[in-house]
Amino acid sequence: PRDRSAWARAVKAPSRGIGGASLAEFFNYCDAVTEMYLETTTASGSGAMDDLPSPMDVLLSLAAPPNDNAIGTLLPPREIMSTRSLNRFVPFAASLNSLMKKAEVQGVPDFLLSLIEDLGLKGHFDAISKTRDEYEDRLGNVMELVRAAERYKDDGPCITSGPSSDENE
């Protein structure tokens, strides 16, 4: 997502200890990465605005292996972000990288269950709900989504690397 306020809300819930200062540092890093990409692509005459890394690309790069991290190689995050901020963002990025790998092998219903578990959504619902009934309603809504996703369980993994066979026919 390129809408920063929506992106910030998504990052902050459930709470990960990422506050305004860490978000500001992260967005400063995103801006510096974008500027670096623009300079690089303008100088080489290649690339387009669509090739610019999104905040999600930048976030995922924080936990990427050093040899597989073009963004971190181009501009190391420690040049812009504090250790405290990185200590908040890196585990979250690692969790999202893990979820991306699961999405490549799991069908929709299983992936939704992984998402609920890995992101700690039950604990989040418990923390934000004022009553037990409210918690149960929130969790019930999510589980209803999982049940509705059952119809897609035979469609293969959530994320595929190429077009599906249906698109080729």
Q: For the chain, what is the mean pLDDT?
A: 86
| Angle (nearest 5°) at CA 18 between 4 and 121 | 90
User: Hey, what amino acid is at 114?
Assistant: S
Question: Considering just the CA atoms, what is the radius of gyration of the chain in Å?
Answer: 19
pLDDT single digits (tens) 60-93: 999 987 766 578 888 899 999 999 999 999 999 9
Q: What is the pLDDT of residues 87-120, one digit of tens each?
A: 999 999 999 999 999 999 999 999 999 999 998 9
The backbone torsions φ and ψ at residue 106, rounded to the nearest 5 degrees and listed phi first, read -100, 145
* pLDDT tens figures, 111-148: 999 999 998 999 999 999 999 999 999 999 999 999 99
Nearest Cα to Cα of residue 28 among 99, 89, 70: 89
Spatial CA neighbour of 156 closest among 100, 103, 98, 117: 103
pLDDT surpasses 50 at 21: yes
